Structure 1
């Protein structure tokens, strides 16, 4: 068989069942025989869409998202999704062709050639390797998968020259690597447990790295009567109705005061990124001792130095803490009252208050286990803080990198990962135009997907930012004129709604429709004189 065919077959060993991409002349050998494997291929309309689909698929399935891309423009088109995956610690493999071996780095101008593809992509991936023989490929793939499973997940890139892809090879056997040693010691676990045993006002701060430890985290919170604050990527890690849930209130005064007053803060899988508090712009300050749990040792002292730093996957480390404190009865530290105080001390902007009737309608109409994917749009910004959500790993808000246009293709990937769940994407009329062509990919799937387009005639948040800066608006009023007809042209069912009541009815109907529904919602602050 050809090297390209053998390379894809080896992916099956690692549990890959879906790949995303757009086939091209340079990747025929990667697609050769794909129909004879157990791997499904999902075509996008643009490689950026492929990358975002792989990202959404990975977040929902828990398995790495895989892209098959052509060299040069295909890889370059996917750089933004790679950067987003890097920012949000999402496992993604980009398996790509590259220039034939004899012309690599020669600057002779062959088709799709770019200088040092692996070096360029290596700024956003780890590793990024040009592979030239089967044994090297098997070793690199084993190392990548071990990193996905035991380290901080990052996107990875393997480039294979087109002449190597076409070489005849035998079956490529997987390489088995020894399991890495734990990054923490029993002594460190005992030290962290000691801090918790003597704490009188503990708080748990859960980031996206804690999602797989949701059950253990709740047990830890209940044992020490510690309120749980969730970051953007951890929304839903503890049910909203749980008395210890402080929800994702990190930007607000009540939660920030509690973090300053807590004598022990257990920070699990969080970078303390500035994007977590962007709603108010108020930075987090920690007043007491900190137990940091993170798979990435570089995070243990940034931006706050850990009193005790535990390197490892959250589910493993929290389980060890539970074992080390199993002799303790449940503590009583007014955790429920403190969590309630945090939930009540929220300072909403007037813009967010205008969104609330719409979001109340959305929450009432949307099934509880719906996977929700947010784009960068004003309705979504308020939803992130306001809408209750109680299922870990099903609320996706990729606000680390903060790109526009990610939600629609990410929702397609999420739907493929969870075909039995409802999926909702919330995007803006301006940002949706970045990847609106992926509506065609969604329609091709012939399954439920609801897309809400918040229509404020352009880039509403940027428009408001100009106003706050007392600068004259420039290029913020852009429009596609008629999003309803555009969506219908892709084969989606579409309608425009003008008020929250109609919005709620349209949402309920969309969840019952076995296909793609696009709901264009006219924002209450739509600029005057815009024709719709």
Structure 2
């Protein structure tokens, strides 16, 4: 092993580069300049958002789209706290996000000294939202900490990680050896006997179904093959949207929130759940779903077999590898109880009926968005990426009513449910795949959480449409107050001319009062070299 002296900042950047990092998001500050000094030398590009929370959301989306871990750099104290909400979102959605920051010096006293950005414990704070927070104690240890993070990203359920480097170590030059690399990873496969038992249950089932979550994202082909083999309709969570094309005759899309679909699911005699918690954020109601049939659970995380609904057949392992083994075992069993010439026809008839029932349940509420979302879909390429926000137009509108296939992506902040995700996430996605169409969908309330990131998109010269449905405030909370019989308080926001604000940042702005006008505006926005904010006043859509 060769040794040479280098600073902590260079040791960090070298380790990131060796692990494949090509882009980082962040904001330079007094304490992290030694990191920034080395980015260009190691050919790591950098995007500078206008707020650290934006850096976190952008890195999150970069990871979801590229398949590579997202990397964000902050300075100490308030900057790290600013990114904590994005780290919490990445934890909720199982996104591999690495946040690196300086920390107080190695021998910093326990008692406060008034040092710039001093706080009691950065690591304890980040442990509340990340998989772990690793404070290194030497320059040599930095490489091991980075390798530890990338090992977690590749071998376990991916979660965000924080690495803290004492600010004196960033500047100190110490002897270091070769970069430690994460070990090779062979996807885990469930035990063959467990797979055979699960296949036997599925072959005996007359009414099977598949539920796909974000953990099935890299196993789309296997999911579709199993669904077609079993004649099983497919439902997805928000994070699983588009894993199986939502136009496929077996696809129910994002439908777990539908009472009709929940009743139908309860009547299935076997349910295969892949990479999903089956949690409140998936069902939009408290508690796990009612399942009267046998649950076959496929998940990389063993804890998922025992939380909420326990698995009748627990298949712990990589989704692709596990499903390939399960499909092979099902085929070895031969035709099942549900086999026969009418099997597929019955399943597809179920899907058509349930889609209609799902949409009828919320037709009065969703009618304001559906024609506009159809207009969006009509303009976009099949592989377009759509980023979403915690807004009514997104979770009530786009999740069930804007179809996506496996060529495209729909990025939604599920579970943790942060506001302001859509715009910075779109920046991260467009940075990862600049040749693909990327469109952000938001409401006026959520959009203003991160509206300053328009400046980032302008500076980066991103062709980026941002469609904002404007209902004059926090519409969901306004409706919840009304449902309680309360007078609306603090939910109505003063109107803002968002297209004019976009122009002030150096972008473009338009208003679309009809679906046709939105399609035209979106077409122009996709051809523009800068971001375009397109507002849809919701009173015109009602």
Range class of TM-score, shorter chain: over 0.9
* TM-score between the two structures when normalised by the length of structure 1: 0.95
Shift of 1:518: 0.8
**Partners of 2:382 and 2:408 within 8 A in 1:** no
Distance 1:434 1:81 in 2: 13
CA distance in 2, matches of 1:306, 1:104: 49
* 1:118-267 correspondence to structure 2 within 5 Å: 118-169=123-174, 170=176, 172-177=178-183, 179=185, 182=188, 184-267=190-273
Change (3 A) 1:29 1:467: same
For 1:526 and 1:475, how far apart are their aligned partners in 2? 24
How far off its partner does 1:112 sit? 1.0
What TM-score results when the alignment is normalised by the length of structure 2?
0.93
Q: Does residue 493 in structure 1 map to residue 508 in structure 2?
A: yes
**Which residue is equivalent to 1:530?**
none
Q: How does 1:324-339 map to 2 (within 5 A)?
A: 324-327=329-332, 328=334, 331-332=339-340, 333=343, 334-339=346-351
> Gaps (5+ residues) in structure 1?
528-532
Tell me if the contact between 1:206 and 1:267 (Cα under 8 Å) persists in the aligned partners. yes
Cα distance change on mapping 1:202 and 1:502 into 2, 3 Å: same
Helix, strand or coil at the partner of 1:271:
coil
Moved more, 170-179 or 60-69: 170-179
Q: C-alpha separation between the residues in 2 aligned to 1:440 and 1:348?
A: 37
Correspondences of 1:342-353 after superposition (within 5 Å): 342-346=354-358, 347-353=361-367
Report the Cα distance in structure 2 between the residues aligned to 1:301 and 1:520, rounded to whole angstroms. Answer: 45
Counterparts of 1:325 and 1:441, CA distance in 2: 51
Contact 2:226 2:327 in 1 (8 A): yes
Across the aligned residues of Structure 1 and Structure 2, the Cα RMSD in angstroms comes to 2.0
Q: Is the 8 A contact 2:203 2:335 kept in 1?
A: no
Matched residue, 2:3:
none
The 5-angstrom pairing of residues 1-150 of structure 1 reads 1-103=6-108, 105-150=110-155
Q: Greater CA deviation, 343-352 or 19-28? A: 343-352
How much has 1:140 moved relative to structure 2?
2.4
Where does residue 368 of structure 2 map in the other structure?
Answer: 354
Partners of 2:247 and 2:473 in 1: CA distance: 37
Q: 1:296 aligns with which of 278, 296, 301?
A: 301
After the TM superposition, which of the residue ranges 128-137 and 116-125 deviates more from structure 2?
128-137
**1-side partners of 2:196 and 2:382: how far apart?**
39
Contact 1:456–1:525 (CA under 8 A) maintained in structure 2: no
Aligned position for 1:479:
494
Secondary structure (helix, strand or coil) at the match of 2:254 reads coil
1:486 to partner: Cα distance: 0.9
Post-superposition offset of 1:129: 1.1
1:80-111 Cα shifts (integer Å, max 9, x gaps):
00000011110100111011112153322211
The 3-state SS of whatever aligns with 2:487 is: coil
Which moves more between the two structures, 61-70 or 139-148?
A: 139-148
Structure 1 stretches of at least 4 aligned residues deviating more than 4 Å after TM superposition:
178-181, 280-283
Aligned length: 526
SS at 2:131 equivalent: coil
